Amino acid sequence: MDADAARSQLAAALVRVGTGDRGALRLVYQDSSAKLFGVLIRILKDRSEAEDVLQDVYVTVWRKAALFNPEKASPITWLVAVARNRAIDRLRSGTVARRTAPIEEAAEVSDSAPGALDMVVKAEQQARLGTCLGELEEKTSQAIRSAFMDGVTYEQLAERMGVPLGTMKSWIRRGLLKLRACLEA
Amino acid sequence: MSDDIDHTTPEDEGRLIAAEYVLGVLSNEERRAVETRLALEPALAREVAYWEERLGGIASYIKPVTPPTRTWQRIEAALREPPPSAPRPATLWQSLAFWRAFGIGSSALAAACLAALIVIAIMPPPEQPQPRMPLLATLSGAKTKQPNFVVTIGADGRSLSIVPAALLTADKRSMELWLIPQGGQPHSLGLIAPGQPVRLNVPPELIAHVGAGATLAVSLEPPGGSPTGKPTGEVIAHGDLTRL
């Protein structure tokens, strides 16, 4: 099955979950749990914590799936948004003893990107994101990827990259504006 | 430092806060502030959806990790409790004889529903990372089945609005609102006013009990509220919470 078919199948299953179809939830779980577990481990840096949140995420998906609109969102980005929000809220609530990961880790993961395209979003959309991130200054691109993947605050990012807080905010805010301009170009 | 100066337009600012929210660089307080604004500003909500879709692609750089089998079993167990379609266990309140029913004009009901909708409109919209959806309950008298109150509870379970749908007689007694969790004991949510909408904060220890299937009831109590912490007077209306 190609990526488009896989995405359509996941979207259809998610829509069925919204109607209370529990079998469909199982399909959604089978197709997305490894991706979401990876995302959660990356943010929480703790497997058992990530497992807890993963459980929460699918219970939330069960309740909120009716709000998923396949015309407006990719199923996996919708699921990733649910998962990241839960993980970030858990992190910010301070209940997780946070282990710090070096910034290089983000760069290392993203270096493997060209081969790592999966069904997260449509291929052309994904390619565009890659191109536009690539057009940013390297430090800015790295900061944005790291913020997204690790769910860290401006303060933590500034500390990791050894720059003042104001500088980090400025990098990211300018980078986001450029990124948007590029994505819409 | 020149790096600290952002030359951004107000439009940029609106887009930036949405992007910063999705990126996850904001503090807890800032995140909650954005979520509150999202409820009131559809343009901001669209921006958040835009960034979720576009930045979401960064997740494809993250290696998938297969979760242990037990995770799915736990999810299934969590969904079984309580079963969404199973009948609610009978509570004390269902067996109480209700002493009185109130008549209600259709315009009063319409006004109450409108007020409830306004309350709903300012609650966080569904796309937000709220763990729960807003809840609604119509509290009716036992005999007439006519709605006497419309209650809405915010998505976070913390904030409650109760709008009287009927013009109630001038009773000297206080009206007290109670939350009865499925199969549980009544907990007071506070006193309400007969003639006007009232906004109450759900006590933190009760937030966990606010959910679909829980019952709300209004009882008549001595001025100042129940002296015992449990309902002592007649129950004039009750109804179950449902998710929107």
Query: The domain that contains A75 carries what CATH number?
Result: 1.10.1740.10
Q: Are A62 and A131 in the same domain?
A: no
Our CA-based measurement puts residue B232 at a distance from the nearest CA of chain A, in whole angstroms, of 36
User: Per the domain annotation, does A98 fall within a domain?
Assistant: no
User: Per the domain annotation, does A123 fall within a domain?
Assistant: yes
User: Per the domain annotation, does A99 fall within a domain?
Assistant: no
Between B198 and A45, whose confidence is greater? A45
Q: Are A83 and A113 in the same domain?
A: no
User: Per the domain annotation, does A146 fall within a domain?
Assistant: yes
Q: Are A83 and A137 in the same domain?
A: no
Q: Do B24 and A171 touch (CB under 8 A)?
A: no
pLDDT of residue A81: 95
Our CA-based measurement puts residue B154 at a distance from the nearest CA of chain A, in whole angstroms, of 15
Q: Are A7 and A77 in the same domain?
A: yes
Between A1 and B10, whose confidence is greater? B10
Measure the CA–CA gap between B220 and B146, rounded to whole angstroms: 18
**Residues in B 82-111 with any Cβ partner in A closer than 8 A:** 84
Q: What is the CATH number of the domain that holds A155?
A: 1.10.10.10
At residue B189, what is the residue type? L
pLDDT tier, A109 (very low <50, low <70, confident <90, very high otherwise): very low
pLDDT tier, B1 (very low <50, low <70, confident <90, very high otherwise): very low
Q: Rounded mean pLDDT of B115-137?
A: 59
Q: Rounded mean pLDDT of B42-51?
A: 91
Q: Do A77 and B57 touch (CB under 8 A)?
A: yes
Between A29 and B222, whose confidence is greater? A29
pLDDT of residue A62: 93
Of all residues in chain A, what percent are helix, strand and coil, respectively (each to 5)? Answer: 75, 0, 25
Is the pLDDT score of A169 beyond 60?
yes
- Domain membership of residue A119 as a residue range: 104-184
List of residues 6+ apart from B139 with CB closer than 8 A: B147, B148, B149, B150, B151, B216, B217, B218, B237, B238, B239
Is the pLDDT score of A7 beyond 90?
no
B113 inside 8 A of chain A by CB: no
At residue B55, what is the residue type? L
Residue of B21, B22, B34, B58 best to disrupt the A interface, most CBs of A under 10 A: B58
Is the pLDDT score of B17 beyond 90?
yes
What tokens were used for B38?
């999202």
Our CA-based measurement puts residue A169 at a distance from the nearest CA of chain B, in whole angstroms, of 8
Global pTM reads 0.60
Is the pLDDT score of B31 beyond 50?
yes
Element (H, E) at B140: strand B135-140
Q: What is the ipTM of this complex?
A: 0.88
**Cis peptide upstream of residue B82 (ω within 30 degrees of 0):** yes
Q: Among residues A92, A127, A161, which one ends one of the domains? A: A92
Q: What is the DSSP letter of B22?
A: H
Of A51, A63, A67, the CB nearest to B127: A67
Into how many domains does chain A fold? 2
**Residues in B 50-69 with any Cβ partner in A closer than 8 A:** 52-68
Q: Are A83 and A25 in the same domain?
A: yes
Our CA-based measurement puts residue B135 at a distance from the nearest CA of chain A, in whole angstroms, of 13
pLDDT of residue B112: 60
| Chain B contact set for A85 (CB, 8 A) | 129
Is the pLDDT score of B92 beyond 70?
no
Q: Are A136 and A157 in the same domain?
A: yes
Our CA-based measurement puts residue A9 at a distance from the nearest CA of chain B, in whole angstroms, of 18
Nearest to A147 by CA among A117, A168, A116: A168
User: Per the domain annotation, does A18 fall within a domain?
Assistant: yes
Q: Are A82 and A115 in the same domain?
A: no
Nearest to A143 by CA among A101, A171, A123, A181: A171
Of A26, A38, A109, the CB nearest to B65: A38
Q: Are A20 and A58 in the same domain?
A: yes
Q: Among residues A41, A65, A92, which one ends one of the domains? A: A92
Q: Do B3 and A170 touch (CB under 8 A)?
A: yes
Q: Do B3 and A81 touch (CB under 8 A)?
A: no
| Chain B contact set for A80 (CB, 8 A) | 52, 56, 59
| Chain A contact set for B129 (CB, 8 A) | 81-82, 85-86, 89
pLDDT of residue B9: 77
Measure the CA–CA gap between A96 and A43, rounded to whole angstroms: 11
> Mean pLDDT in chain A?
86
Between A48 and B11, whose confidence is greater? A48
Nearest to A110 by CA among A128, A87, A134, A91: A134
Q: Are A160 and A124 in the same domain?
A: yes
Q: Among residues A62, A92, A122, which one ends one of the domains? A: A92
- Of A18-22, A25-29, A109-113, which gets the smallest average pLDDT? A109-113
Of A72, A129, A147, the CB nearest to B57: A129
Q: Do A116 and B53 touch (CB under 8 A)?
A: no
| Chain A contact set for B64 (CB, 8 A) | 34-35, 37-38, 118
User: Per the domain annotation, does A97 fall within a domain?
Assistant: no
pLDDT digits (tens, 9 = 90+) for B143-193: 666 778 888 888 888 888 888 776 555 667 788 899 988 777 788 888 887
- Domains along the sequence of chain B with CATH: 2-61 (no CATH), 92-243 (2.60.40)
> Mean pLDDT in chain B?
75
Q: Are A81 and A130 in the same domain?
A: no
Q: Are A74 and A155 in the same domain?
A: no
Is residue B214 a contact partner of residue B241, using CB atoms and an 8 Å limit? yes
Q: Do A125 and B75 touch (CB under 8 A)?
A: no
Q: Are A54 and A112 in the same domain?
A: no
Residue of A61, A136, A148 best to disrupt the B interface, most CBs of B under 10 A: A148
pLDDT of residue B100: 29
Is the pLDDT score of B66 beyond 80?
yes
Q: Rounded mean pLDDT of B48-53?
A: 94
Is the pLDDT score of A36 beyond 90?
yes
Q: Do A174 and B6 touch (CB under 8 A)?
A: yes
pLDDT tier, A160 (very low <50, low <70, confident <90, very high otherwise): very high
